[in-house]
Amino acid sequence: MTNGLAGIVAGQTSISSTNNGHLIYAGYSIEQLAKMQPNFETTMFLLWHLRLPQETELTGLRQQLTRNMVLPANYSILLKQFCRAPVPPMSQLRTAVSLLEMVSPVALTPEAIQAKVLVVITTIIRLHRGQSILTPLARADYATNLLYLATGKKPQPRQQLIENQVLLVHADHEFNASTFTARVTASTATDTYSCLTAAIAALKGPLHGGANEQVGLMLEELTTNKRPTVLYLKEKLEQGKKIMGFGHRIYKKSDPREKLLKKYAKELARRTNHLDWYQTSIEIERYMWAQKHLIPNVDFYSATIYHCLGFKADEFTLLFAASRCAGWLAHIKEQRQQETLIRPSSEYIGPRHLQMMTYEANQQAK
């Protein structure tokens, strides 16, 4: 027995692997894919079909995504209404995805679902900011539409490339908490919307996807209030509080995703005059290694990148979901193909009453 199923192999997958500290998507390391500088459509196709797409297939996928970046009018009205509620954006996303089944009960393709989740996410961001909802760009890739629909600004070529890389590294991570939740739900043969709703509920937690929001809030407090970084960290650790963005269940020496994001965080910080965020991040990283021997994970430098792209801390996990949705859809499909209900056993460690002990003794005597 191990806490949190650490080290336990809970199933088989052909989608991704983290063996030996490397993140692999269907046989390709994220470093290989990053060098190719693919758009996110390539990553989606790879996760869904376990091979890289032909050019015609890539074009077709992009067209399907763009065609489905629209929400039913009655759904948009409902979305506007409940987005007024004073709850976190991730709670709104969880409910919004569940609501999709009410207006589109017919099973949609992965392309259609991915596109609609993107529009839901960017609509929540716009409504959260009190801004008008925008129409997708007809001839733009997924990353460009994500940035445009959320911020109202068409990204520069370099921003577009960096966002595609950010989406790449967040797309999948074998049996992480939200993906495993999606697979457990899918194993019951329920619908895709239910699987995604469950996955989003898991991603929302601060020990999973919600960690990047906490990193953003920490950096915002340090840079805005000009607080000494070391004193801040020392105080938090003495209070027994976690410093989000550090440590990982699998990666002990380095997180391959963090390596890719760190250089882009520095570049964007310089381009957008937010070097204070990057420099503060470096101070935090050095202190956490010196004091705790903890490494930064994917959440740490992604916070600086999202900030430099114009997002607020409570929007960071929404962006995570816009990417991870592709991985969830791949795992939901794979789990259904396995046709196996995920139902582990447990070890009972609760109280043992005399009546129960007598029953067990009688059973053994027989």
Q: What is the pLDDT along the chain (366 residues), one digit of tens a residue?
A: 567 666 666 678 999 998 888 899 999 999 999 999 889 999 999 999 999 999 999 999 999 999 999 988 888 888 888 888 788 999 999 999 999 888 776 668 999 999 999 999 999 999 999 999 999 999 899 999 999 999 999 999 999 999 999 999 999 999 999 999 999 999 999 999 999 999 999 999 888 878 889 999 999 999 988 889 999 999 999 999 989 888 766 767 788 888 899 999 999 999 999 999 999 999 999 999 999 999 888 889 999 999 999 999 999 999 999 999 999 999 999 999 999 998 887 888 888 776 666 666 677 776
**Catalytic option among 141, 172, 255, 299:** 299
Q: What are 63's two structure tokens?
A: 């067209």
Q: Does the pTM of the predicted model rise above 0.85?
A: yes
User: How many angstroms separate the CA atoms of 274 and 360, rounded?
Assistant: 67
Q: How many CB atoms lie within 10 A of CB 217?
A: 16
119 vs 33, 101, 127, 321, CA distance in Å? 26, 15, 12, 12
299 labelled catalytic:
yes
248 labelled catalytic:
yes
Distance of CA 144 to the CA centre of its chain: 18
List the end-to-end C-alpha distance of the chain, in Å, as a whole number.
Answer: 30
Q: What are phi and psi of 66, to 5 degrees?
A: -60, -40
**Catalytic option among 248, 255, 307, 331:** 248
Distance of CA 47 to the CA centre of its chain: 15
